[in-house]
Amino acid sequence: MADTPEAIKKSVRTYMFVGGILFLGTIITVLVASVEALDVGQHGFDKWDCILGLAIATIKASLVAFIFMHLNHEKKAVYWLFASGLCMVCSLAGLTALAIFDPIHDPLFFGKESTTPKILASPSLR
């Protein structure tokens, strides 16, 4: 952690730089979603827009976490706490996703009647 006045002054420049990247990332996300020439994949929203949008959001969120929230130089205890929260979310979402293998699930639940669930083929993601 930056504790000396010099180190803090130096980190202020980093914060400004990161702030700039966050603004830029937001603009890129909006442009990709609204300017036809920058649209990836099919015309309009599709899985590639979803992947790109979430990738940019993940990069932005990581910058906030690592730089603004100082996760780039924290004590072990913090990493354990944060990582356990993330793991819990992933495992719970993962367990819920297992419902697609439920033999008695509604055949229309994922948008079609196929026996093999193709999540990305649902109407909302096309």
Partner 1 sequence: MEIPYVVTPRKDTGLFNSKIAIWLFLASEVMLFGGFFSAYVFLRLGADYPWPERTLPVLPGLINTFVLIGSSVTVVFAWASLKLRNWRMFQLFMGITVFCALIFMVLKGIEYNVKFHHQAVRLKDYTVMEGHLSYEKELDHNGNKVEENLIFVEASKLTFNTRRFEKSWVEEVLTQAGHHGSKIVLSADIAVVTKEGQPAEVIAKAGEPLSVDLLRRVEKTRLAAASHNSALRTESLREEWVKAHAAHPGKKDWQIASGVNIDTAALAPKLLTEVSTVAFNVDPPARLDFKPRDIKEADGQSRLRDDTVVDGKLLASPMGFHYVDAIDFQHLVMKAKEKGIDPEVAIENSWLIKNSPFAKEAWEWHQGEVAKLKERLLKDYGLDKSGNPKRVPTHKELYRIGWKDFAKKGEQQHGIKLSTMDSLKEEFMGPNYDARNPQGDDTHVEGGHAKETFPHFSLPREQIGFAAKFTPAWNTYYAIYFTITGLHGLHVIGGALVLAYYLFFGRKMYLENPEWLANRVEIGGLFWHFVDLVWIFVFPILYLM
Are 22 and 64 a contacting pair, CB within 8 Å? yes
Q: Residue 5 interacts with partner 1 (CB under 8 A)?
A: yes
Q: Is 66 an interacting residue with respect to partner 1 (CB under 8 A)? A: no
Binds partner 1 (CB under 8 A): choice among 64, 72, 102, 107: 64
Looking at beta carbons only, is 69 or 72 nearer to partner 1? 69
The torsion defined by the Cα of 76, 77, 80 and 85, in degrees rounded to 10, comes to -140
Given candidates 38, 48, 57, 114, which one binds partner 1 under the rule CB under 8 A? 57
> Do 12 and 18 touch, CB atoms closer than 8 A?
no
* Residue bearing tokens 């603009």: 27
| Cα separations in angstroms, 54 against 33, 51, 57, 89 | 12, 5, 5, 17
Longest dimension (CA), the chain: 64
92 binds partner 1 (CB under 8 A): yes
Q: Which residues bind partner 1 (CB under 8 A)?
A: 2-3, 5, 8-9, 11-12, 15-16, 18-19, 22-23, 26, 29-30, 33-34, 42-45, 49-50, 53-54, 56-57, 60-61, 64-65, 68-69, 75-78, 81-82, 84-86, 88-90, 92-93, 96-97, 108-111, 119, 122-126
